[in-house]
Structure 1
Amino acid sequence: MAAKTGAQALDKIRVGIIGAGGNTKLHHIPKLQAIPGVEVVKIANRSEESAAKVCKELGVAQATGNWQDVISDPSLNAIVVGTWPYLHRTLVLEALQAGKHVLTEARLAMNASEAKEMYNASLRHPNLVTQVVPSPLTFEFDATIQAIVKQGTLGELLYIEVRALSNSFAEKDGAPLSWRTDQRYSGLNIGVLGIFFEPLQRWVGDAVAVQARAKTVVRLREDQETGELRSVHIPDHLDILADMAIGAQAHIVVSSVIGGVPGFSKGYVLYGKEGTLFLDLAAKKLYLTKKGAEGQREEVAIPEDKKEVWRVEEEFVAAIRKQGSIRRTTFEQGVRYMEFTEAVTRSIQSGCTVKLPLV
């Protein structure tokens, strides 16, 4: 039996959780519980014991080790998918078919094909709200950067530099295998690539062509469940050149094996004909240098009313109640960053430039 949705706004929203990882425990569960009229009713985790532990910790009534118990529960209106990407497609499609609104953890899917299938399913259920957890890296700066680009302060954009460096030296072979380094669970997602590319899409739009090189430094990792060594198929260093639709060329470096980085290790630089904008994520500072004032870098003050904060759960609930719409991140936006991610992998494998959107 599907939950009542559509034109009727829901005052009482009952939520089921599938996958109680770090983000789910830190953000989704407590922040949903803080919204009047929202109740987190049931949690499914990899085992009933682990689900029960989270239920006790966060005051949730029901625990299960079977995700189907959550999706099939007719009393629930909405599902939060907090698993690794390998289950996102299955859980989202099943939840939509059961008439549930869905908030899914990022990255959206294992690959672009899965992402498109999920997006198309969402279109077949226009009465249901679907949302992907957005990259929160640049929330505080997004509105200001978008305004600076739109106003033409930088002039025509020529070149964009993105650095996503761990600033730590490579681990030894045999280091623990995590879901981010295990293609069985993460698919074509590579490290923090998607998390860093998504904000760039917000500011300047999509890429139209990608050429990438990659290196796998830590080639063997220990499976923590079996103790066996596994070959790693996800690169830990990426070097990407992308042609952006706005006309600029972007150089993106993502690495978990580079230590002792001089200068900035995490951030963005947008170079235009009339100015350069530099976001240093480590320092949480935004700087602008204008043409004719080279060497006079000025910090850009971010007005309080322009500083966006994490409100993923509020936005999800407001959309269910017909009190707002999903801005960050829609399934359509998720498809676009998954296409970029897959284009990077295709370029690595072929040694060729890959055009976007994918065909």
Structure 2
Amino acid sequence: MRKIKAAIIGAGFIGKAHIEAIRRLGYVDIVAVGQNGQDKADEYARVLKIPKAYGNVEDLLKDPEIEVIHNCTPNHLHFEINKQALLHGKHLLSEKPLTLRASEAKELYELAAGRSLVTGINFNYRQFPMVQHLKSMVKDQDLGELHTIRGSYLQDWLLYNTDYNWRMEPEYGGETRAISDIGSHLFDLVQYVTGLRIAEVFADISIVIPQRYKAVGSRESFQSGTDGDMELVNMTTEDYCSVLVKFENGARGVLTVSQVSAGKKNALELNLDGSQASGSWKQEEPFKLLMGYRDKPGETVLRDPKQLKKEALPFMHYPGGHEEGWTDSLKNMMHHYYQAIVNGEPLSDSVATFREGYQVMTINDAILRSVKSGTWEKISIG
């Protein structure tokens, strides 16, 4: 079997996670890494055992051996690199958010639609077996008609005023931070599992820590501390946001994101209330689903191939009790993405499309409009 040749642009935290997940497939070779500057690219290539190193994106995209691009760069670089990858005829898997602005995301999905390329966005939380099971329960009406949808994505890695990251700077991370960084995952997951589109939003945000100490020099994600020279800088992006939402079927909900919630490391949670039952899934306990009923005791459904719906089976690879977690969701993501390339088949709906990435960006924009107007804002896709 011929191996697909791929390249990683940006080998930081998430880039390394892509590399590990890709290598687990066995039928994809990572042949190149791209970084900002040749010295840095050479070092990453040496450490990660990747044969080619490129200090600029243009040279990497011109390499005829490379078939697939993984864009794992900071947010502000997503649009231009994604666009150039498509123009160079490369299959493309982008990190979220797709771009900084909805207009850019629309341009990308329209550009991708006109080419015979496999494109997707790494919304990997779709890839958990229990998420697939819950999605199938919704489709089969096991919960009845959905009327209330509650979700949250809470972290604590920015709890202290000495915590700092490039995502806080609008020119790199965008006008929003918690909303685009983790809210994009939450918005995508809610719509994917329920099959419902968010139609209107009413939002409130808070900059909990208005000033932070920034280390002089760069710092990778999820690092903190007070060593070295520090400077106090003003914050303009939010630490917290809660959004009242109206769905297209009339259901209501509330979605909350925070990066300053002590003890919450990567606490993505989804709660669906239907006319017959409720279902709850937590990413930090991904192997189980909590079901609630009015007239009988609640149930805990565990990740077991013998108990789950058939739609969830392709996302499980080990027997019950042999738990699969976050890194396995990334492996599933890569598998379902690359199967479309290897077999020339349609992309699995478990892989978010560029149009869906654009739609998430329109939600982000509506949230910003709501914060400024203090009113409900409708979400429209041009």
**Of the candidates 298, 306, 312, which is equivalent to residue 333 of structure 2?**
312
Q: Which residue of 1 aligns with 2:80?
A: 90
Distance 1:258 1:326, change over 3 A: same
Aligned counterpart for 1:158 among listed residues 147, 164, 176: 147
C-alpha spacing 1:59/1:257, structure 2 compared with 1 (3 Å): closer
Quote the residue 2:164 is aligned against: 177
C-alpha separation in 2, matches of 1:157 and 1:193: 21
The answer to whether 1:256 aligns with 2:259 is yes
User: Match of 1:257, as an amino acid?
Assistant: V
1:292 to 279, 291, 295: 295
Distance 1:99 1:254 in 2: 36
In the TM superposition, residue 268 of structure 1 has moved relative to its aligned partner by 1.9
1:17 and 1:70 in contact (8 A); partners too? no
Question: Where does residue 212 of structure 1 map in the other structure?
Answer: 203
How far apart, in 1, do the equivalents of 2:280 and 2:3 lie? 44
Equivalent pair of 2:153/2:257 in contact (CA under 8 Å) = yes
Q: Deviation per CA, 1:60-119, whole angstroms, max 9, x where unpaired?
A: 112122111111223322221110111111011111111111111122111211111110
Cα 1:184–1:169 shift into 2, 3 Å: closer
Alignment-mate amino acid for residue 219 of structure 1: P
SS, match of residue 20 in structure 1 = coil
Partners of 1:241 and 1:336 in 2: CA distance: 18
Q: 1:128 deviation in Å?
A: 1.4
- After alignment, is 303-312 or 81-90 more displaced? 303-312
Q: Deviations over 1:185-228 (max 9, x none)?
A: 22145321111221111111210000100110111234434554
Contact kept? 1:43, 1:62, Cα under 8 Å: yes
- 1:116 correspondence with 2:103: no
Which SS does the other structure have where 2:347 is aligned?
coil
Q: Aligned in 2, Cα 1:283/1:57: closer, same or farther, shift over 3 Å?
A: same
- Residues 137 and 143 in structure 2, CA contact (< 8 A), matched pair in contact too: yes
CA offset at residue 145 of structure 1?
0.8
Matched residue of 2:215: which SS? coil
CA distance in 2, matches of 1:34, 1:230: 42
Aligned 8 A contact 1:289 1:298 in 2: yes
Q: Contact 1:315/1:325 (CA < 8 Å) preserved in 2?
A: no
Decide which moves more: 341-350 or 265-274. Answer: 265-274
* Amino acid in the other structure paired with 2:255: I
8 Å Cα contact 2:155-2:263 kept in structure 1 = no
Q: Percent identity?
A: 26
Name the counterpart of 2:283: 281
How far residue 291 of structure 1 moved from its aligned partner, in angstroms, is 2.8
**TM-score computed with the length of structure 2 as normaliser:** 0.81
Residue 331 of structure 1 is matched in structure 2 by 354
SS in 2 for 1:253: strand
Contact 2:127 2:332 survives alignment (8 Å): no
For normalisation by structure 1, the TM-score amounts to 0.86
Residue number among 17, 41, 48 corresponding to 2:8 in the alignment:
17
Alignment RMSD (CA, Å): 2.5
CA distance in 1, matches of 2:257, 2:88: 39
Matched residue, 2:92? 102
How far apart in 2 are the matches of 1:69 and 1:58? 20
Q: Residue by residue, what CA displacement relative to the aligned partner does 1:330-351 show, whole Å, maximum 9, x if unpaired?
A: 1112112221122112211221
Cα distance, 1:273–1:167 mapped onto 2, change above 3 Å: farther
1:137 CA displacement: 6.8
**Cα distance, 1:258–1:51 mapped onto 2, change above 3 Å:** same
Does the alignment pair 1:71 with 2:67? Answer: no
Question: 1:44 touches 1:67 (CA, 8 Å); kept in 2?
Answer: yes
Shift of 1:33: 4.1
Asked whether the equivalents of residues 126 and 192 of structure 2 are also in contact (C-alpha less than 8 Å), the reply is no
**Structure 2 counterpart of 1:153, which letter?**
D
| 1:319 partner amino acid | A
Q: Distance in 1 between matches of 2:163 and 2:260?
A: 15
SS of the residue aligned with 1:337? helix
**1:302 deviation in Å?**
3.5
Note closer, same or farther for the CA distance 1:41–1:195 as it changes in structure 2 (3 Å cut).
same
Counterpart of 1:332 in structure 2: which amino acid?
Answer: R
Moved more, 49-58 or 84-93: 49-58
Deviation at 1:179, TM superposition (A): 2.7
Q: Is the 8 A contact 1:78 1:102 kept in 2?
A: yes
Distance 1:168 1:94 in 2: 33
Describe the superposition over 1:35-54 as per-residue Cα deviations: whole angstroms up to 9, x where unpaired.
55533222111232322222
Rounded to whole Å, the distance in 2 between the matches of 1:147 and 1:12 is 33
What are structure 2's unaligned runs of at least 5 residues? 218-229, 316-328
Q: CA contact under 8 A between 1:111 and 1:188: conserved in structure 2?
A: no
- Residue 5 (structure 1) aligns with: none
Secondary structure in 1 matching 2:295: coil
Q: Contact 2:121–2:357 (CA<8 Å) still a contact in 1?
A: yes
User: Aligned in 2, Cα 1:189/1:71: closer, same or farther, shift over 3 Å?
Assistant: farther
Q: How many residues align?
A: 342
